[in-house]
Copies of this chain bind each other. A is one copy, B any other.
Amino acid sequence: MEYRFGTAASAVDEARLWERHVRMAQFGALPGGGVNRQALSPEDGRARRELARWAAEQGFTVANDPVANLFIRREGSDPSLPPVLAGSHMDSQPTGGRFDGIYGVLAAFEVLQALNDAGVVTRRAIEAVAWTNEEGSRFQPGCLGSGAFTGAIPPRPALEEVDRDGISARAALDQLLDGESDFARRPLGFPVHAYLECHIEQGPLLEQAGVPVGIVTGVQGSRWFAIEVTGEEAHAGTTPARLRKDAFMAAVDIVDALRRLMHDPEDIVRFTVGRFEVGPGAPNTVPGRVFFTIDFRHPDPHTLKRLGDQVEPVVRAHAGHCSVRVTETFTSVPCAFDAGAVASVRTAAAGLGLRALELPSGANHDARFLAEVCPSAMIFVPCEKGISHNEAENATPGDLAAGTRVLAEAVVALANS
C-alpha cells in the first residue's frame, strides 16, 4: 500500500502529546515547576517504566542495552533491515525544565502511536530511543548512552564515575537495569538506517523569527579556554598607576581585545566569558590575580580553528605588565548533519506547509554522536525566551505538535527508503 504524505502527521495528537509531557514532569517534579530527574536515578527509572507501559499498550517491543539506552520498536514490513531511530534523552539537569530531552522521546513515541492509529505500515522498523545520561550533571561525561552506542565513549571508565553521594554510575546502572529485567536486552550498538531527534531550541532564534520549526543543519564546534592573569597585589591608595601590575585591568584589556577578535557582523560567532574571578577581592587592594573562562563556538571548522588559534596570541599581546597562562580545556569539532537526513526534515516541513528556519545547534546533543554512524538530523521547536536548563523552561503544545508532525513525515520517508 502506497503511503500518502501527511497521513502520519495528521494522526499526531497534540493534546495527548502535551498530556504526556505533564505526566512525565511528575517524575522528579520540583516546586518551581521544573524537574530533577537525573540520569540513572529512581525518578529516571519510574519515567522509563511509565513509557514502557504505554509501549506495551500499543504492542511495541521494549528493550534496553548494557548502558540502559531504551528502545521501543514498531516493527516494519522487513524486520531484517536496520531500523530508523528517533528520540532523545529522559534525564534532566538538577533544576531542569519539562521539555529538554523528554520532548524528543515523547515526540518519537507519539509518531509510533500515530502510525498505529493511522494504520501505516513502514518498510523498516521505527524505534523510539531514550539515550542514557545526556546531561552529564550527575555523572561525567554527558551523552554517555549515545556515545557508548556509537563507540565514541568507552563505557568502562565512564561507569567508574561517582556522584556527590558516593554512588558510582555502574551501581546506579545495575540497579536501574535490575528493575527492567522484563525488558528485552539488546547488545551495545547495532546498525541504524538513520536517526532523527526533536528538541527544544534552547535558544531564542525561532521565537524571534516567529517560526515553529527549526531544521538543524549540524552542531557547532566549541573551544573552551581557561585564562590565568597574574600581577601583583598593591595598596590602592598609595600605588601609582605606572608602578602597578593590576591583574584586573590587564584582564579587561585582554577581554576587550578578544571581543574585537571575535567581532562578527553576521553574529554567528558565540563568544562568552562566563566565569571571571578576581583575587584577593578587597576594595582597596589592587588585584594580583584573575581567572576567567572563554566559551567560543562556531559551526564552521575553519573559522573555529582560525579564531580559536588566535586566542592565546591575543591574550599574550594584551597582558601588559602581567603574566598569563592560557589552557585549552575542551574542544569539539563542528558536525554537519547528513544532507539527505536534513533534506528529509526540510521536505516534511515544506510538505506540511510549516515555516521553518535552518540553523546549526548551539548546544550539544545525542545526534552529534549518532551522526558519526548513520545519516542524522534534528528538528528544533521554539522555547520561551530561549530559556533552558531552568525550571522556567517552556514551550507551547502547538509548537511541540508541529515539530512532531515534521518528525512523523521525515521518519516515514526514511523508513520507506
- Nearest neighbor of A329 in chain B, beta-carbon distance: B283
- Interface flags for A212-247 (1: CB within 8 Å of B; 0: not) read 000000001010100000000011111111110010
Q: Could you tell me if A235 and B297 are in contact, using CB atoms closer than 8 angstroms?
A: no
Q: Which of A258-305 contact B (CB under 8 A)?
A: 259, 264, 267-278, 281-287, 293, 295, 297
Q: Which of A88-106 contact B (CB under 8 A)?
A: none
Q: Could you tell me if B235 and A389 are in contact, using CB atoms closer than 8 angstroms?
A: yes
- Nearest neighbor of A255 in chain B, beta-carbon distance: B252
Q: Could you tell me if B267 and A235 are in contact, using CB atoms closer than 8 angstroms?
A: no
Q: Could you tell me if B243 and A204 are in contact, using CB atoms closer than 8 angstroms?
A: yes
- Nearest neighbor of A380 in chain B, beta-carbon distance: B238
Q: Could you tell me if A274 and B270 are in contact, using CB atoms closer than 8 angstroms?
A: no
Chain A residue total in the interface (Cβ 8 A): 57
Copy count, this protein chain? 2
Q: Chain B residues near A283: list those with CB within 8 A.
A: 224, 272, 274-275, 293, 295
Question: A322 to chain B: closest CB distance in Å?
Answer: 15
A133 at the interface (CB under 8 A from B): no
Across the interface, A281 reaches (CB within 8 A) one of B203, B274, B295, namely B274
Q: Could you tell me if B267 and A274 are in contact, using CB atoms closer than 8 angstroms?
A: no
Q: Chain B residues near A256: list those with CB within 8 A.
A: 252, 256
Q: Could you tell me if A239 and B362 are in contact, using CB atoms closer than 8 angstroms?
A: yes
Q: Chain B residues near A282: list those with CB within 8 A.
A: 274-275
Across the interface, A237 reaches (CB within 8 A) one of B259, B264, B270, namely B270
Question: A357 to chain B: closest CB distance in Å?
Answer: 13
A202 at the interface (CB under 8 A from B): yes
Contact status of A362 and B235, CB under 8 A, knowing A272-B284, A276-B248: yes
Given contacts A203-B238, A249-B259, A274-B278, 5 further A-B contacts (CB under 8 A): A202-B235, A238-B363, A248-B273, A252-B255, A274-B285
List 19 interface pairs A-B (beta carbons < 8 Å), by A numbering.
Answer: A202-B237, A202-B238, A204-B238, A222-B237, A235-B388, A235-B389, A236-B297, A240-B268, A248-B273, A248-B274, A249-B259, A249-B273, A252-B252, A252-B256, A272-B283, A272-B285, A276-B276, A276-B278, A277-B278
| Chain A to chain B: the 10 pairs with minimum beta-carbon distance, closest first | A203-B238, A238-B362, A237-B362, A236-B272, A283-B293, A276-B278, A274-B283, A240-B267, A236-B295, A237-B363
